[in-house]
Amino acid sequence: DAKTTQPPSMDCAEGRAANLPCNHSTISGNEYVYWYRQIHSQGPQYIIHGLKNNETNEMASLIITEDRKSSTLILPHATLRDTAVYYCIVQEGGTASKLTFGTGTRLQVTL
Amino acid sequence: GAVVSQHPSRVICKSGTSVKIECRSLDFQATTMFWYRQFPKQSLMLMATSNEGSKATYEQGVEKDKFLINHASLTLSTLTVTSAHPEDSSFYICSARDLQFTPEAFFGQGTRLTVV
Percentage, residues of chain B above pLDDT 70? 97
- Residue A98: its pLDDT value, please? 82
CA A110 – CA B104 distance, rounded (Å): 29
Residue of A nearest to B107 (CA): A43
pLDDT higher than threshold 60 for residue A29: yes
- Residue B72: its pLDDT value, please? 83
Confidence band, pLDDT 50/70/90 cuts, at residue A2: low
Confidence band, pLDDT 50/70/90 cuts, at residue B106: very high
B67-73/B57-58 β-pairing? unpaired
The answer to whether the CB of B6 falls within 8 A of the CB of B109 is yes
* B35-67 residue pLDDT tens: 999 999 999 999 999 988 889 999 999 999 999
- Residue A99: its pLDDT value, please? 87
- Residue B116: its pLDDT value, please? 97
Strand, helix or coil for residue A80: helix
The answer to whether the CB of B28 falls within 8 A of the CB of B101 is no
Q: Do A41 and B112 touch (CB under 8 A)?
A: yes
Residue of B nearest to A102 (CA): B43
CA B14 – CA B115 distance, rounded (Å): 6
Q: Do B43 and A98 touch (CB under 8 A)?
A: no
Confidence band, pLDDT 50/70/90 cuts, at residue A95: low
Of the candidates B100, B51, B94, B57, which has an alpha carbon nearest to the alpha carbon of residue B74? B51
Going by C-beta distance under 8 Å and a sequence separation of 6 or more, which residues neighbour residue B58?
Answer: B47, B48, B64, B67
Distance from A79 to chain B by nearest Cα, in Å? 22
More confident residue, B49 or B100: B49
Q: Do B43 and A99 touch (CB under 8 A)?
A: no
CA A77 – CA A110 distance, rounded (Å): 12
- Residue A71: its pLDDT value, please? 97
CA B107 – CA B6 distance, rounded (Å): 9
- Residue B17: its pLDDT value, please? 98
Q: Who among B49, B105, B110 is closest to A46 (CB)? A: B105
More confident residue, B72 or A48: A48
Q: Which residues of A touch B109 (CB under 8 A)?
A: 42-43
More confident residue, B31 or B80: B80
B26 close to A (CB below 8 A): no
